[in-house]
A = this chain, B = another copy of it.
Amino acid sequence: MTVTSPAGFDAAGIAAGIKRSGALDLAVVVNRGPSAAAAAVFTSNRAKANPILWSQQVILDGVVSAIVLNSGGANCFTGPEGFQVTHRTAEAAASALGIAAGDVLVCSTGLIGDQLDGEVLEEGVLSAAARLSADGGGDAARAIMTTDTKPKTVVVDGDGWRIGGMAKGAGMLAPGLATMLVVLTTDADLPSGELDAALREATRVTFDRLDSDGCMSTNDQVTLLASGASGIVPDAAAFRAALTAACRSLAEQLQADAEGASHDIAIEVRGAVTEDDAVEVGRSVARNNLFKAAIFGNDPNWGRVLAAIGTTQAPFDPYLVDVSMNGVRVCHAGRPDAARDEVDLTPRATHVLVELHAGEASATILTNDLTHDYVHENSAYAS
């Protein structure tokens, strides 16, 4: 059920001593081949962590043999010393695995602005490399957790090939892939160009539509590694569908474990002129603190939905909009419809339907409510 489920991958997750707690904090995933094709997408934040700066260079040739991921520190805004730590991490993996450092991706997650100890990282990589195995995917998934309460993994089977994956991320989820580290593996045989196209298509409609708290991270990276070990070149459409399904599962696992959340909210926007409009409208609701606090309080305050979407540029008439919550239409044509007390918001799964009546396009944005626990976790994170 994880990155080592497809053939051709070994992994390990260890406690390198980066986290003071002694928890697992370093993961290595190795692609044993025969192919080393890869693709990756990165945060669109201009403030990028050192491992992002490194990995963006590594991925240029579409060849990746291994990826090292650490929790316990983001290695962001740590200057040239921080970049050297990332470089040293890749060199350690290359040395231990007999590969080129230029084929090693690095991901980090944790507090911004703290230096990581290069020696601890190096020793950790060497130790993890010695424990690599086809059973190591579970430990790897645990080693990348920060405030996550559970590991997130997935397997999707194709016709003779398979996709596996792991993810971490419990806060800062936002478009542009925020504090989200994802590794997807496949034993299908595909060149990096096709992996890249499939990955961008999949992330566009999954991770990019998860917007837990509107904050975009400095460290997000979604990586896809293909070993070709199945010897099968999959049908392109089938592979894209499977990859999208894997990404959707991981995105939903991220949403379900978002920091402090008590509701998983799907904001479905229908009747937009374009899909981009639908996304913009959905996102405006997902980022509205007043709406999110109301959902926490099981309060179907639909006026806050309309106030949010009124701030967008999407073409529609606010006074023709219908809003339903968990199947009850509380607003019709910009006026009160069913009584608020007919809406039951006690289930964790919450569905908000916004019908714009302006066109045929639709999109769904996933978000969470704004809770006391969210405030607590994020006020205490650094201390």
Q: Which residues of A line the B interface, CB within 8 A? A: 45-48, 74, 76-79, 111-115, 171-172, 176, 213-218, 287-290, 293-294, 296-297, 299, 301-304, 306-312, 318-319, 330-331, 333-336, 340, 370-372, 374-376, 378-383
Contacts and interface: CB of A to CB of B under 8 A. Distances in A.
A335 to B, nearest CB: 4
Decide if the interface of chain A is mainly helix, strand, loop or mixed. loop
Nearest to A317: B46
A296 B306 CA distance: 29
A371 B289 CA distance: 12
A321 to B, nearest CB: 9
Contact of A303 (B112, B306, B308, B310): B112
21 contacts: A77-B306, A78-B335, A78-B336, A79-B333, A176-B311, A214-B287, A214-B288, A216-B307, A216-B311, A217-B307, A218-B303, A218-B307, A218-B310, A289-B370, A289-B374, A293-B374, A294-B379, A294-B382, A296-B379, A299-B382, A299-B383
Contact of A46 (B299, B311, B340): B311
The number of times this chain is found in the oligomer is 2
A132 to B, nearest CB: 32
Contacts of A303: 74, 76-77, 111-113, 218
